[in-house]
Chain A
Amino acid sequence: MRGFLARRTAALGVTVLLASFVVFLIPYVTPGDPVRKIIRSQVQGELVDESAVQGLTAELGLDDPLPVQYVRWLSHFVSGDMGLSYTSRTPVIEHVMPALWITLSLTVVTLAVAAIAATALGTLAALREGRLTDRVITALTQALIAMPEYWLAPVLVLVFALNLSVLPSAGWSGPSSMVLPVAVLAIRPLSHFTSAVREGMLDALGGEHVLAARARGLSHSQTVFRHVIPNGLLPLTTLTGVWFAGLLGGSVIVEVIFAIPGMGRLLYDAVLNSDIPLAQGGVVFVVVLAVVLTTAGDLLHAVLNPKMRNSHA
């Protein structure tokens, strides 16, 4: 267990460093003069003459070797100085933090909805294995995984916002504006969770320990609640971690369609406008958060699973 923890944490650190290095390289690999791009992200006001550029190049240390520049960039970054957005000429951090909160809350609500619904549906399908209920739920999960969000979203908007006028079609203003985005975002995790819960429950149901529990006099429902559901839900912990990471980026489409000022939207705009500092800040935040969350999911799984908790491997 301790070894597992250590290895996970080490992997986390390495990933974050690697990702940050790749992100650091953006201005160097994109078309155009990197020096001008970097200066643009550091200094307010427009640059006109060549001599000013040269002065600033030396002043900002842009003639230093790349590793040195990287370390300096990273230390700035860690202390919260991520440069200025090209488009708004304001510090990147001021854009990233509010966007991050919006995306996080969207993600948390979505995953909670998906996990609860999937637990109910997956358990029901497993207990009714092979019957109509199971077949309908299974068919539904298969259909949902093939559903493009950028199609479902306009269709839902068409129905609920334009025709029925019960929900806002876009924007970020209170709980009602969250309904449609959450519905669209939840379909794929829901589908994935449901089939995982169903499989987990079937495995748990098929375990000989279930028959043995009956043979010790537990009733069917006692057996299901004590020995099937807790075991069958275990896979959800890891999956939630993975999807947490997936949704932070998967929300690009939904945030663009519903005009939600979250991380997805921020990154999209940054790429469209070639706003390099904004993209750098956004990507690093998303990646760090994603890696941390996935690791957390794994650790939770390990803690809940006695086999791993006690292993010394």
Chain B
Amino acid sequence: MLKKIIFQFLALGLIFTYSAQSAESGGMPQLNPEFWISQIFWLVLTFGLLFIILSKFILPKISNNLETRKSQILENIETADKQREETEKKVKEFDKIINGTKVEAKNFFNSERQKVLDDINNKRLSLEKDIEKEIIKAEEEIDQLKKTSQEKVTKIAIETSSDLVKQLIGEDINKSSLSAIVEDLSKKEMEKHNGI
């Protein structure tokens, strides 16, 4: 159906054009040589000028632009790469520095701690020595005190016993006999103590 309509249109058109063509001189104006020379002349002129201006002035500029852009992009990429490498280096250096400082800090801390510990130890040792000395001294003193106290005790015992006897009897007793009795008693007491 559509084909038929199109065909009819085409046929109608052809009739129109043929009638129109036959009314005029007809044919293809392209084959009329009247203006051939003029066309050739103007073609050579315009195309020649176009070619000369394009090749001498415009195209070199465009190719220059393209090249500079290319080289600039390459340069930029290069510098970007360089800078990236540099930053990587810097980051590594930074890491190294941080690690170094960490180790240093640890070492410092350890050494300081060691120092402090040593100090404490030394002080403790000296203190212990002092304490021991003191203890020894005190023991010696105690020993002496023990000895002297025994003598004193026997003396006091003799004196008090002589006084007691004087008051009781009203008579002086031989001190040597008294002391012998007291020593005997104290010895017994001491034996009792030591025995237990």
Asked if chains A and B come from one complex, the reply is no
- Interface residues of A, Cβ cutoff 8 Å to B: none
